[in-house]
Structure 1
Amino acid sequence: MNTATPSTTGTAEQNFAQTPAPVSVREAGAPVQQAPTEARLSLRLAIGLIGVLLASLLAILNEQVTAVAMADIRGAFSIGHDDGTWLTALFEATNVATMVFAPWFGVTFTLKRFTIGAVLATMFFGILCPFAPSLLALYVLRALQGVAGGCLPPMLIIVALRYLPPKIKLYGLAGYALTATFGPALGTPLAALWTEYVSWQMAFWQIVPLGLVSCVAIQQGLPLDPSKLERFRSFNWRGFLLGFPAIAMLVIGLLQGDRLDWLNSTFICVMLYGGTLLFVAFLVNEWFHPLPFFKLQLLSRRNFAHGLLTLVGAVVLLVGVAVIPAQYLAKVHGYRPLQTTPLALLLAIPLLIALPLTAAVLNIRRVDCRWVLAIGLSLMATTCFMGSFMTSEWIRENFYWLQSIQIVAQPMVILSILMGVTTGLPPTEGPFASAMFNSLKSFTAVAATGLIEGLGTAREHFHSSMLVDRLGNNALITSQSIDSAHGLGELAHRVHEQAVVLTSADLYLVMAGIALAFLLVIPVLPVRIYPPWSTTPPSSR
């Protein structure tokens, strides 16, 4: 913390770090610290950590499953498409905005109490959603559930940095990576299961069993620290009042932008420009405040800054490789979630093995995580480049080989980023790193969704116009198509189909370009680091 921090705050931070994990070797050139006697992870504490992992996974599944099942939810409530988009926008706005402030409240109320309370609140609002008496009530419940769910993912990084011994810290980070890769991939299969075979209400209620298990595990496993309510005396009210509406406005502007025609809409201009101004004021306040939510001084560490920068590209790529084939299959071949489930499971299930294996590789002292990250980004770029050659004849099976490469690439990228961000961070800085990492990850996912929707709409309009112009210039083909059995409707369908194919190919090329751009940053910004358990560099380099 800064030296200007009040004494009560300093005491709170010392209490928070009362069971610190040994600090691993820092970036190359930094002083080497001698590690204390290696801590051991007890069975009881391991159960508590698993509980926090399940809580974080619960939040991701709740977000993903309801998003995939939104068509069935709208049908059950007789909600139109435009009104239904606000169910997602309000949830995401409060969810992302809460992640900035959740670590502060988690430390203040204790990790154990705060996490259990957030899980119970997420379950409670989820149970009530299907019984909402009106659309307005459903909006309120989804917004409140977004607040509760946004409290959970940041807790996982905090407890990992605080409790995990250095030898297994990377495996704990693999658990966090599980929520960023396995969780979203599992959303489609679960949504298909509930909507096709059980009931649409299960899209909201599915979190209850997992939530109960996580609460029991957290209650039994995590130690109960004393609460630090004295921290409210120095609460960063200005930062809270600036940051929460700023992020919520930006998220709403990005998610509603494509539907309302972006800057041609006064509402979107207010959301984006107003949110940007508030967010700049929030960052200025955070730089000077003695107890910030974002400790921007951490960006002076090259690997931390590189990790957050590369996280932006990685999240865009993860969203892109999931959304592009799903949208293509739905628009061209009419696939429902049940029919895209095998594609999602092909990625989700092997990740349970690929993630710990990648952690084991990174835990080897000789392995440079920069090379692992470079290989992962190269594989993702290769996958996207191959996807750009798709045609209208591609069906689900044609994407299997692309997803197979993602099984190897995604763990390499995510775990290398996590290793670079967390290596050398003491437990006292865990809440700051968690707030910055999780909020940036979630905000980038929203921005990536808006980018893909906006760019996809623009490119689809462009390709449709070009195809229609070509048909108009070929009067013979046009007259034969109109006079055929299917007539003009069949011709319009073929034009739309080809426009979607060409748009999907363009989006794949954009994703490949993003992967290559972040690949070029690796030789410039990050420096060599070693696994958390290593306290001295290799004797010979």
Structure 2
Amino acid sequence: MAVVGSTLGAFMAVLNIQIVNASLADIQGAIGAGIDDGGWISTAYLIAEIVVIPLTGWLSQVFSLRNYLIANALLFLAFSVACAFAANLGQMIVLRAIQGFTGGVLIPMAFTIVITLLPKARQPIGLALFAMSATFAPAIGPTIGGYLTENWGWQYIFYVNLVPGALMVGMLWFSLDRQPMRLALLGKGDWSGIVTMAVGLAALQTVLEEGNKEDWFGSPFILRLAIVAAVSLSLFVWIELTSSHPLLNLRLLVRRNFGFGILANFMLGTALYGSVFILPVYLARIQGYNAEQIGMVLAWTGLPQLVLIPLVPYLMQRFDVRLVIVTGFALFAASNFMNVHMTAGYASDQLFWPNIVRAIGQALVFAPLSAIAVSGIEQENAGSASALFNMIRNLGGAVGIALLQTFLTKREQYHSNVLVQSVSLFEEATRSRIERLTAYFLSRGVSDHALAAHKGVIAIALRVRQQAYIMAFSDTFFLLGIALVIALAATLLLKKPGRIEAGGAH
């Protein structure tokens, strides 16, 4: 009951990243936010979430796991509802930040409960449930968000948390053992590590979220934040390696399976969140889909996982866990390589099979990768392992989205420059096309010949830019495939764990 309740909480916390992204335009219009400023509605949540994840292991010891988890679950639900009543951008940013700070607790706590409360033989079943939050939630988020926004209004993307949230709180209330709080640990806390980590991660996340929009290091704001992030995170690593009571045990990273598992998990986060970001942008910008239509396309990366993920513990029992992970990464990579030859007519029908292959790959990866990475982790290091594993995946997602935004812009510029060289007035095909378009616009009521010719030139320019964008999107899918090949290579370096019994590593 504790495992189901906590993984339900993790599912909602991850869902609230993507479900809001699908409805961002509607929220921006309702609260009077500009396109650029409205991005902070998502950024505030992500920054708070990534900062709190590393703190959860320590704070759950201070306040007891039961008190800390239930309190944050209740606060998460309260601030979810409060977001629906935000009257302006300032209020929404503050409320989303607090929602992220409380929701971020639910993700690593669910992972910790799985690897500490379940017997080894049952852990993969718990990890399969947790995979629903890690891979299924990002895929299904736009579907739920798009449907609710188009049919009920954007406020319902926040109200939707209430029913499963009440179930989650009830399950946690009755299943988790009461433990005494250890408030004395506050005085022994690694406060210098906490401050440097919080400042560094917040600055880094802001750089990644806003960098492309602000022209990266051409912006003094981004440059200063990047320096703050580099200095703070360097100090954090030094403090953690020299402190007698570190917030996080970074020495876990030198363990072979955990270290390579973290690398594979980082690349998984890059591809997982990157693909969920890039597909809606493509469908909206090139195909003109609305939020609900985009959600219907992405549903095929989510729904098959409901069937497949429960079967993964059985596969872990029958086959070498590394083989299951490699197969998953290979399929996930293949799904991206299937999209590298896109055309203007590449829409929902053409995306169906790549999305199905992607769903199978994602379903096969997460639970086995989690199991092999944390195999052999001691009880006292479970909190650090959980925090690092989940933080790195989210950080991979932030890096992936930032990289893809910049890559898409640069590749569109490159392809535009190449195409424009072939679309010249010195070319007979171009002159012939302009003449046909001029005749078309004259037949549609444009009386002035020069104006009709000008409209024809604009139509050609728009078509060239559309083709450049389509080629750039194809390049981004190729880049995502390469990221997953790197993850696959890291998997091959994992050491074979002991025998799996009923899906559990010994």
Residues 403, 389 of structure 1: alpha-carbon distance in 2 compared, 3 angstrom cutoff: same
Q: Which amino acid is the alignment partner of residue 345 of structure 1? A: A
Q: Which amino acid is the alignment partner of residue 508 of structure 1? A: F
Show the counterpart of 1:505: 474
Show the counterpart of 1:492: 461
Q: Comparing 138-147 with 247-256, which one deviates more in the overlay?
A: 138-147
Residues 107, 474 of structure 1: alpha-carbon distance in 2 compared, 3 angstrom cutoff: farther
Q: Comparing 95-104 with 224-233, which one deviates more in the overlay?
A: 224-233
Q: Comparing 469-478 with 435-444, which one deviates more in the overlay?
A: 469-478
Q: Find the partner of 2:496 among 514, 528, 535.
A: 528
Looking at structure 2, the residues matched to 229 and 332 of structure 1 have their Cα atoms a distance apart, in angstroms, of 55
**Is the partner of 1:384 in helix, strand or coil?**
helix
**Is the partner of 1:363 in helix, strand or coil?**
helix
Residues 356, 474 of structure 1: alpha-carbon distance in 2 compared, 3 angstrom cutoff: farther
Q: Find the partner of 1:182 among 136, 143, 167.
A: 136
Query: Could you report, residue by residue, the CA deviation over 1:231-284 in whole angstroms, capped at 9, with x for unpaired residues?
Result: 112111101111001000000011001110111001111112210110010011
- 1:76 deviation in Å? 0.7
- 1:423 and 2:392 matched: no
- 8 Å CA contact 1:170–1:363 kept in 2: the answer is no
Show the counterpart of 2:277: 323
Q: Which amino acid is the alignment partner of residue 203 of structure 1? A: I
- 8 Å CA contact 1:157–1:176 kept in 2: the answer is yes
Show the counterpart of 1:393: 345
Question: Unaligned stretches of 5+ in structure 2?
Answer: 442-454
- 8 Å CA contact 1:379–1:409 kept in 2: the answer is yes
- 1:537 deviation in Å? 11
Show the counterpart of 2:151: 197
Q: Give the ranges of 4+ consecutive aligned residues of structure 1 lying more than 6 Å apart after TM superposition.
A: 534-538
- 8 Å CA contact 1:89–1:255 kept in 2: the answer is yes
Looking at structure 2, the residues matched to 393 and 269 of structure 1 have their Cα atoms a distance apart, in angstroms, of 40
- 1:408 deviation in Å? 1.9
Query: Could you report, residue by residue, the CA deviation over 1:496-536 in whole angstroms, capped at 9, with x for unpaired residues?
Result: 2101110111112112222223333344x311103554999
Identity %: 27
Q: Which amino acid is the alignment partner of residue 472 of structure 1? A: S
Show the counterpart of 1:96: 50
Query: Could you report, residue by residue, the CA deviation over 1:303-328 in whole angstroms, capped at 9, with x for unpaired residues?
Result: 01010011111111222333333222
Residues 136, 342 of structure 1: alpha-carbon distance in 2 compared, 3 angstrom cutoff: closer
Looking at structure 2, the residues matched to 50 and 537 of structure 1 have their Cα atoms a distance apart, in angstroms, of 20
Show the counterpart of 2:385: 433
1:12-23 pair list within 5 angstroms? none
- 1:159 and 2:127 matched: no
Looking at structure 2, the residues matched to 170 and 135 of structure 1 have their Cα atoms a distance apart, in angstroms, of 42
Show the counterpart of 2:220: 266
Q: Find the partner of 2:429 among 477, 492, 509.
A: 477
Looking at structure 1, the residues matched to 504 and 183 of structure 2 have their Cα atoms a distance apart, in angstroms, of 39
- 1:518 and 2:470 matched: no
- 1:144 and 2:88 matched: no
- 1:300 and 2:254 matched: yes
- 1:113 and 2:67 matched: yes
Show the counterpart of 1:462: 414
Q: Which amino acid is the alignment partner of residue 455 of structure 1? A: F
Q: Find the partner of 2:194 among 233, 240, 245.
A: 240
Q: Comparing 378-387 with 145-154, which one deviates more in the overlay?
A: 378-387
Residues 531, 497 of structure 1: alpha-carbon distance in 2 compared, 3 angstrom cutoff: farther
**Is the partner of 2:344 in helix, strand or coil?**
coil
- 8 Å CA contact 2:114–2:123 kept in 1: the answer is yes
- 8 Å CA contact 1:423–1:532 kept in 2: the answer is no
Residues 372, 474 of structure 1: alpha-carbon distance in 2 compared, 3 angstrom cutoff: farther
Residues 384, 411 of structure 1: alpha-carbon distance in 2 compared, 3 angstrom cutoff: same
Q: Which amino acid is the alignment partner of residue 470 of structure 1? A: S
Show the counterpart of 2:163: 209
- 1:473 deviation in Å? 6.1
- 1:187 deviation in Å? 0.6
**Is the partner of 1:293 in helix, strand or coil?**
coil
- 1:415 deviation in Å? 2.1
Looking at structure 2, the residues matched to 117 and 448 of structure 1 have their Cα atoms a distance apart, in angstroms, of 32
Looking at structure 2, the residues matched to 305 and 360 of structure 1 have their Cα atoms a distance apart, in angstroms, of 26
Q: Which amino acid is the alignment partner of residue 62 of structure 1? A: N
- 1:416 deviation in Å? 2.5
Residues 520, 537 of structure 1: alpha-carbon distance in 2 compared, 3 angstrom cutoff: closer
- 8 Å CA contact 1:162–1:430 kept in 2: the answer is yes
1:24-173 pair list within 5 angstroms? 47-173=1-127
Q: Comparing 202-211 with 251-260, which one deviates more in the overlay?
A: 202-211
Query: Could you report, residue by residue, the CA deviation over 1:140-179 in whole angstroms, capped at 9, with x for unpaired residues?
Result: 1122112111111010111111111222210101111111
1:214-233 pair list within 5 angstroms? 214-233=168-187
Q: Which has the higher contact order (CA 8 A, sep 6+)?
A: 1
Looking at structure 2, the residues matched to 130 and 161 of structure 1 have their Cα atoms a distance apart, in angstroms, of 35
Q: Find the partner of 2:299 among 339, 342, 345.
A: 345
**Is the partner of 1:235 in helix, strand or coil?**
coil
Show the counterpart of 2:289: 335
Residues 531, 200 of structure 1: alpha-carbon distance in 2 compared, 3 angstrom cutoff: farther
Length, aligned pairs only: 489
- 8 Å CA contact 1:95–1:150 kept in 2: the answer is yes
Q: Which amino acid is the alignment partner of residue 340 of structure 1? A: I
Q: Which amino acid is the alignment partner of residue 505 of structure 1? A: S
- 8 Å CA contact 1:119–1:215 kept in 2: the answer is yes
Q: Cα RMSD over matched residues?
A: 2.0
Looking at structure 1, the residues matched to 416 and 504 of structure 2 have their Cα atoms a distance apart, in angstroms, of 60
Looking at structure 1, the residues matched to 428 and 34 of structure 2 have their Cα atoms a distance apart, in angstroms, of 41
Question: Unaligned stretches of 5+ in structure 1?
Answer: 1-46
Show the counterpart of 2:448: none
- 8 Å CA contact 1:171–1:359 kept in 2: the answer is yes
Show the counterpart of 1:376: 328
- 8 Å CA contact 1:93–1:252 kept in 2: the answer is yes
Query: Could you report, residue by residue, the CA deviation over 1:77-121 in whole angstroms, capped at 9, with x for unpaired residues?
Result: 121101101222222111111111122112221111111111111
**Is the partner of 2:33 in helix, strand or coil?**
coil
Q: Which amino acid is the alignment partner of residue 362 of structure 1? A: M
- 8 Å CA contact 1:157–1:430 kept in 2: the answer is no
Q: Which amino acid is the alignment partner of residue 135 of structure 1? A: L
- 1:474 deviation in Å? 4.4
Looking at structure 1, the residues matched to 7 and 334 of structure 2 have their Cα atoms a distance apart, in angstroms, of 32
**Is the partner of 1:498 in helix, strand or coil?**
helix
Show the counterpart of 1:281: 235
- 1:185 deviation in Å? 1.2
Residues 482, 305 of structure 1: alpha-carbon distance in 2 compared, 3 angstrom cutoff: same
- 1:340 deviation in Å? 2.0
- 1:134 deviation in Å? 3.4
Q: Comparing 167-176 with 408-417, which one deviates more in the overlay?
A: 408-417
Looking at structure 2, the residues matched to 471 and 536 of structure 1 have their Cα atoms a distance apart, in angstroms, of 61
Looking at structure 2, the residues matched to 147 and 462 of structure 1 have their Cα atoms a distance apart, in angstroms, of 40
**Is the partner of 1:175 in helix, strand or coil?**
helix
